[in-house]
Amino acid sequence: MIGLLVFFCFCFFINGTTQLKSNSIRTDSLTALSLSQCIEYALKNQPNLQRTFINQEVARATNAINLSGRLPQIGVTANITHYLQLPAALVNNGGNINAAKSGVLNTSIPGLGITQSIFSPGLQYAAKVAPLYEKQSRQITDSTKIELVAGVSKTYYGLLLTLQQINVLREDTLRLGQNVRDTYHQYIGGIVDETDYEEAMITLNNSVAQLKQANENVIPQYAVLKQLMGYPPDKQFNISFDSTQMYKDILVDTTEILQVDKRIEFKQLAIAKDLQHQLTQYYHQAAWPTLSAFYNYNHEFANNQLPQLFNYSYPYSLLGVTLSVPVFTGFARVQGLRRSELQEKQLGWSEVDLRSAIYSEYTAALANYKSNLYNLNILKDNEALAKRVYFVVTLQYKQGIVAYLNVITAESNLITAEIGHLNALFQVLSSKIDLEKAMGNITY
């Protein structure tokens, strides 16, 4: 009777544990999100992705600042000057230097100055790289989206795997509970010895421990998924899935030819090469002259008496063109050009290395996907066989044909096959994501 009481305690623990997890995490009243809904939510709310959208606006503002020199530059100045001692005007009169005070004690010159750039190598360079910087910022956003879709998908599948394992372990625990009950009655009836009952209890204990561990693992996995999605930590949701559709989604066209230029990393490197080439061109043109036009208007006031300073004005204005030619800059332009050309060569070798790395990543992802898909089909068949064997062995044990050790072995093989099948499914889904990422086929 003590053994049977222990069994009932286990059943109460199992029901209480699973019910607790159900109420706290997966209640029917919570929002149920599919993988596509999780990805859609993440693309709208993930903080890191939102920062990349802001970076796009920063890039546009930076371009506007760099191109502002193409517009007229207008400035207003004003001053009031009081001479403590007037300057002397020197006049050469037949070899004699005569000095006479000139000017007035008080002056004020408000002025308006307008400058318009006509030609500038720096402004030409800024105009050429502006669209490249905007495209670069968009590519950073695209790269973040790709990583986010891949991360959410893998985390979603990992959580789904754990939830499915809980269902399998729960069924396994119920089967073992039935075995304990049957073995206990057989032991009381003298059909089997006490070791069969004790072995049944040991197997049940192990299954309960696995179920407890799986239930606990659900909480941090949900937390990681929420973090990736940008979902509020204090709110809960379910994940929903269609197992039939999931098996359809694991298929990938493995005959598709790898196109390196579809990879976001290759596109980013292409933009980096364009930017570096434009910088090289700028150093080539940096020796060209800078041409600008200017207009100044000054409204001068002057009077020896400060209170009467603004009684009389003497306005004047001027218009002109400024040509500036850099003759010698301490070899700064020459060395800048040399450095930029070397950096272009570096990026050329980086492209060679990137092509090789992408191909290596693709071949590894393709091999993993194929082997995992083959493994999935094998383990799916193993699960069906293990269920059949367990059914037959259990029936034979109840008829007294085989020992209970056979039941334990069949049960162990069944749970191993079921968990193995689930793990294989997760590995295929995960390797499919890696393959799509390697081929540049992840959509968002």
Q: Which pairs with CB-CB distance under 8 Å and at least 24 residues apart come from 98-107? A: 103/302, 104/302, 104/303, 104/304, 105/303, 105/304, 105/306, 106/80, 106/81, 106/82, 106/302, 106/303, 106/304, 106/305, 106/306, 106/309, 107/80, 107/81, 107/300, 107/301, 107/302, 107/309
pLDDT band per the 50, 70, 90 thresholds, residue 16: very low
- Ramachandran bin of 15, using left for φ above 0, alpha for ψ from -120 to 50, beta for the remaining angles: alpha
Residue 2 has pLDDT above 60, yes or no: no
Pair of tokens at residue 234? 């204090």
Geometric angle at alpha carbon 427, from 425 and 431, rounded to 5°: 120
Find the angle CA(177)-CA(425)-CA(253) to the nearest 5 degrees. Answer: 160
Q: Summarize pLDDT for 75-107 with one digit per residue, the tens.
A: 999 999 999 999 888 887 777 888 888 889 999
Pick the most confident of 152-156, 161-165, 239-243, 393-397: 152-156
**Residue 292: beta bridge partners?**
117, 322
Give CA separation, 418 vs 21, 298, 327, 382, 410, in Å.
Answer: 22, 90, 80, 8, 12
Q: Three-state DSSP class for 250?
A: coil
Q: Report phi then psi at 253, rounded to 5.
A: -75, 100
Distance CA 140, CA 152 (A): 18
For residue 303 the two structure tokens come to 């009077």
CATH, domain range 2-71+120-289+327-439: 1.20.1600.10
Q: Are strands 106-108 and 290-303 parallel, antiparallel or unpaired?
A: antiparallel
Predicted confidence band of residue 207 (pLDDT cuts 50, 70, 90): confident
What is the arithmetic mean of pLDDT over 225-242? 91
The domain ranges of the chain are 2-71+120-289+327-439, 76-118+293-324
Which residues have CB under 8 Å from 400's CB, separation 6+? 191
